[in-house]
Amino acid sequence: KAGVTQTPRYLIKTRGQQVTLSCSPISGHRSVSWYQQTPGQGLQFLFEYFSETQRNKGNFPGRFSGRQFSNSRSEMNVSTLELGDSALYLCASSKRQELAKNIQYFGAGTRLSVL
Amino acid sequence: DQQVKQNSPSLSVQEGRISILNCDYTNSMFDYFLWYKKYPAEGPTFLISISSIKDKNEDGRFTVFLNKSAKHLSLHIVPSQPGDSAVYFCAASGSGGSNYKLTFGKGTLLTVNP
């Protein structure tokens, strides 16, 4: 069974640009979450989607947005990039039976560098 | 405010000995606690979890202990192996509207020496 797939793996952008990251969850998983990992702040929750609906959002500015498609694939978008947005962005998926325990399975991440 | 804390940034143990990784939390509304392991250039991998109504959960070489009154949990790895060398993250999950996110500690780098 394929794991969570994130594309691209690496991305370099300049300040002011926007970026879209993609995530394909494990087959059959309908919940998709996004996290940002930085050396200073660690892993921080961005948002979570289930059946195309955002159910929870972390404390990030409105420049960070996401969406989920009917096939459970998800994208996150960051507009007007800032230097501080440089981070590893991780996507995770969960299956229905494990939603209560919130066991999430992570992809390898997209490393975003903002110059 | 950091709701989940891992106060030891690193830990070094000898192969075959016990590794004990610690985690403290402040939010009494957390329902589930999870441990993840992360190798460089990979995403975190789920290891083991425990419900707030239990005080111990075991899975092979890994055991998680929860002390609710102290708001403390620990992960024991016995025996430790060189392949266990990785960053270990403690995470917590709440109930209701906050159930769909994990709150992570900043991680502990475990090094198991042969």
A5-19 burial code (b ≥16 CB/10 A, e <16): ebeeeeeebeeeeeb
Q: Do B34 and A102 touch (CB under 8 A)?
A: yes
Query: Pick from B43, B97, B106: which is nearest to A42 by CB?
Result: B106
Q: How far apart are CA A52 and CA A111, in angstroms?
A: 25
Q: Do B43 and A56 touch (CB under 8 A)?
A: no
Q: Which residue of A has its CA nearest to B101?
A: A45
Averaged pLDDT of chain B? 93
Residue with tokens 């959002």: A57
Element holding B83 (H helix, E strand): none
Q: Which residue of B has its CA nearest to A38?
A: B106
Q: Is the pLDDT of residue B99 over 90?
A: no
Q: Do B43 and A103 touch (CB under 8 A)?
A: no
Segment A67-115, tens digit of pLDDT: 999 999 999 999 999 999 999 999 999 886 666 677 899 999 999 999 9
Q: How far apart are CA B30 and CA A3, in angstroms?
A: 27
Q: Do A100 and B99 touch (CB under 8 A)?
A: yes
What pLDDT is stored for residue B78 in this prediction? Answer: 97
Stretch A24-53: mean pLDDT: 93
Q: Is the pLDDT of residue A1 over 80?
A: no
Q: How many CB pairs under 8 A join A and B?
A: 63
Q: Look up residue A87 and give its DSSP letter.
A: E
Q: Is the pLDDT of residue B88 over 90?
A: yes
CB distance from A23 to chain B under 8 Å? no
Q: Which residue of B has its CA nearest to A10?
A: B41
Segment A12-33, tens digit of pLDDT: 999 999 999 999 999 999 999 9
What pLDDT band is residue B96 in, cutting at 50, 70 and 90?
low
Q: Do A92 and B32 touch (CB under 8 A)?
A: no
What pLDDT band is residue A38 in, cutting at 50, 70 and 90?
very high
